[in-house]
Amino acid sequence: MIDSVHSYAFGLGTKNSEGEIIEVYYPKPQIHPSKTEIQRLMEISNLEDTGFIELSDKHIARVRSSIEEGMFSDHTEIFERISQKATIVLMVQIADSSPKSIPEAFLKLHLLSHRLAKPNSINLDGLFGILKNLAWTNQGPIDLMDLPLRQLEARTNGNLLSIQSVDKFPQMANYIVPSGVRIADTSRVRLGAYIGSGTTIMHEGFVNFNAGTLGPAMIEGRISAGVIVSKGSDLGGSSSTMGTLSGGGTELVSVGENCLIGANAGIGFPLADGCTVEAGLYVTAGTKINMLNENGDLVQIAKAKDIRSIKNLIFRRNSLSGAVECIPDASSVSLNEELHSHN
């Protein structure tokens, strides 16, 4: 008997012309459900391992009966509004294993964007290979093999099928808008991004899946996959963070609390709390740093990855020698509270 479940959700699926599910929208994903819910899920689905089922009329009746008994209350609205044409999916993930299906992949992305799981905390191995490359349109996702006919149908009916992107990942805001955020251009935040309350993402900001912010932050640069930005930090215009692993090693790239990465600057190593990287300077994990004391005297030379735990440093490039330096910073970065208090 299954007595623990990592996560589950009821969702609305989209199929292609061959009847394959290509995408799923989960309004209320759940993580670590109660034993009572687990027992009922197993009774409804007859699943013995991680998997999904398409709900038949009998399944739907059973779920509605369970809702009347006080279970699955978060899913009441979906079962009040579904039509007979809808594809209703129940996805149950017994353990946090790598995704094996499109419904499972979309559940994992929803868990991240619903703030139920933080970046790098769930297994996403093989996710990219599971997802289909789709046309994301004003009529929803469309399989690329179906796209020419759908475009023709739209035109012959006097309509225009508008394509926003052709990609494996949709924009997050078409599935969930987390509370307390501002996103100037929603196309630049993928489903699977974790956006903390108080975050502002300006037009040039970008947040990939399995990446994001843990609290108030100003994002005008790029947060690559696997990168976490802690509260109170500011990524300046067109700044960058290097994707998931630093230099192909095992070190996750992250930005500490109250940091500033200047315009057109970037990092490829974990940046400790209270650090500043001057505009235009890209510091990789292997960058040699001249470490200076308060008087500007050279103390030692170290690689950036070896000083990742030292807080309150200013990273800069010497305009005469071209060497990358860091000096202690007694001050700390603070965000403009007025910009973030009304999200």
| pLDDT tens per residue, range 67-92 | 999 999 999 999 999 887 899 999 99
| pLDDT tens per residue, range 38-70 | 999 999 999 999 999 999 999 999 999 999 999
CB atoms within 10 A of CB 143: 19
pLDDT of residue 246: 47
Q: In order of start, what are the domains of the chain with their CATH numbers? A: 7-132 (3.30.70.2010), 133-167 (3.30.60.70), 172-340 (2.160.10.10)
> Quick one: CA torsion of 224, 103, 187, 339, rounded to 10 degrees?
-70
pLDDT of residue 243: 85
The residue annotated as part of the active site, out of 23, 104, 220, 325, is: 220
Percentage with pLDDT > 90 across the chain: 90
pLDDT tier for residue 3 given thresholds of 50, 70 and 90: confident
Decide if 251 is catalytic. no
pLDDT tier for residue 337 given thresholds of 50, 70 and 90: low
Q: Is the pTM of this model over 0.85?
A: yes
pLDDT of residue 333: 54
Average pLDDT over residues 252-266: 97
Average pLDDT over residues 138-164: 97
Instruction: Write out the two tokens for 269.
Output: 């190593």
pLDDT tier for residue 342 given thresholds of 50, 70 and 90: low
Please name which of 72, 73, 97 lies closest in space to residue 5, comparing C-alpha atoms: 97
pLDDT of residue 340: 55
Strand pairing of 7-15 and 21-25? antiparallel
DSSP secondary structure string for all residues of 71-83: -SGGGHHHHHH--
In Å, what is the CA distance from 173 to each residue of 110, 166, 203?
Answer: 11, 16, 14
